[in-house]
Amino acid sequence: MDGYLDISQTRVRYGDAEILKGIDLSVRKGEFVALLGASGCGKTTLLRTIAGFNTPTHGRISIGGRDVTRQPPDKRGMALVFQSYALWPHMTVDQNIGYGLKLRRVDPATARQRVDEMKGLLGLQMLGQRKPAELSGGQRQRVALGRALAISPDILLLDEPLSNLDARIRLTVRHEISALQRRLGITAVHVTHDREEAMVMADRIVIMNGGEIAQTGTPQQVYNQPNSDFVAAFMGAENVVEIEVNAVWNSLEIGEGPHNRAALINRGERPIVSGKAIARFRSEAVEMKSAGEPALSGRNALVLHGTVVQVSYPGGLWRHVVHLGEVSLIVDSQTRFDEGAAVEIAVPEAALYIFPRH
**Residue at which a domain ends, from 230, 249, 273:** 230
Taking the alpha carbons of 184, 188, 193, 195 in that order, is the dihedral positive or negative? positive
No. of H helices and E strands in the chain? 9, 20
d(CA 72, CA 61): 12
- Written as tens digits, the pLDDT of the chain (358 aa) is 568 999 999 999 999 999 999 999 999 999 999 999 999 999 999 999 999 999 999 999 999 999 999 999 988 999 999 888 789 999 999 999 999 999 899 999 999 999 999 999 888 999 999 999 999 988 998 899 999 999 989 999 999 988 877 888 888 888 888 988 998 899 999 999 999 999 999 999 999 999 999 999 999 999 999 999 999 999 999 999 999 999 988 889 999 999 999 999 988 877 788 899 999 999 999 999 998 787 666 668 999 999 999 999 999 999 999 999 999 999 999 999 999 999 999 999 999 999 998 7
d(CA 170, CA 162): 6
Q: Which pLDDT does position 49 carry in this prediction?
A: 97
Give yes or no for a contact between 186 and 36, defined as CB atoms under 8 angstroms apart.
no
Q: Which pLDDT does position 297 carry in this prediction?
A: 63
Q: Which pLDDT does position 10 carry in this prediction?
A: 97
Q: Which pLDDT does position 293 carry in this prediction?
A: 81
Residue 330: CA atoms inside 13 Å, Cβ hemisphere, count? 13
224 with 244, same domain: the answer is no
**Residue at which a domain ends, from 230, 248, 263:** 230
Q: Which pLDDT does position 162 carry in this prediction?
A: 86
State the total domains in the chain: 2
Q: Which pLDDT does position 42 carry in this prediction?
A: 95
Q: Which pLDDT does position 358 carry in this prediction?
A: 79
Number of C-beta neighbours around residue 299 at 10 A: 12
Q: Which pLDDT does position 2 carry in this prediction?
A: 67
d(CA 357, CA 326): 18
200 with 270, same domain: the answer is no
207 with 255, same domain: the answer is no
75 with 126, same domain: the answer is yes
d(CA 134, CA 220): 40
Q: Which pLDDT does position 296 carry in this prediction?
A: 63
Domain around 332: 237-356
Beta strands in the chain (DSSP E): 5-14, 17-27, 32-36, 58-63, 66-67, 78-81, 155-159, 187-192, 204-209, 212-217, 239-248, 251-254, 263-266, 275-281, 287-290, 301-315, 317-324, 327-333, 342-348, 353-356
Give yes or no for a contact between 272 and 252, defined as CB atoms under 8 angstroms apart.
yes
Residues 6+ apart with CB under 8 A from 213: 23, 24, 25, 206, 207
| Short-list 164, 134, 146, 149, CA closest to 95 | 146
Q: Which phi and psi angles does 249 have, rounded to 5°?
A: 50, -120
30 with 132, same domain: the answer is yes
Give yes or no for a contact between 94 and 143, defined as CB atoms under 8 angstroms apart.
no
Element (H, E) at 50: helix 43-51
Alpha carbon separation from 227 to 109, 216, 235, 236, 267 (Å, rounded): 53, 10, 11, 14, 14
224 with 241, same domain: the answer is no
Q: Which pLDDT does position 3 carry in this prediction?
A: 87
Task: Provide the CATH number for the domain around residue 129.
Answer: 3.40.50.300
Give yes or no for a contact between 217 and 205, defined as CB atoms under 8 angstroms apart.
yes
331 with 272, same domain: the answer is yes
130: exposed, middle or buried (Cβ count in 10 Å: 0-12, 13-18, 19+)? middle
144 with 95, same domain: the answer is yes
176 with 255, same domain: the answer is no
Q: Which pLDDT does position 78 carry in this prediction?
A: 94
Task: Provide the CATH number for the domain around residue 284.
Answer: 2.40.50.100
Q: Which pLDDT does position 129 carry in this prediction?
A: 95
Q: How far is CA 60 from the centre of its chain?
A: 25
Q: Which pLDDT does position 294 carry in this prediction?
A: 76
Please state at what angle helix 108-122 crosses helix 167-184, rounded to 10 degrees: 130
**Residue at which a domain ends, from 230, 263, 287:** 230
320 with 244, same domain: the answer is yes
167 with 292, same domain: the answer is no
217 with 241, same domain: the answer is no
- CA dihedral 136→139→140→142, nearest 10 degrees, is 160
Q: Which pLDDT does position 67 carry in this prediction?
A: 95
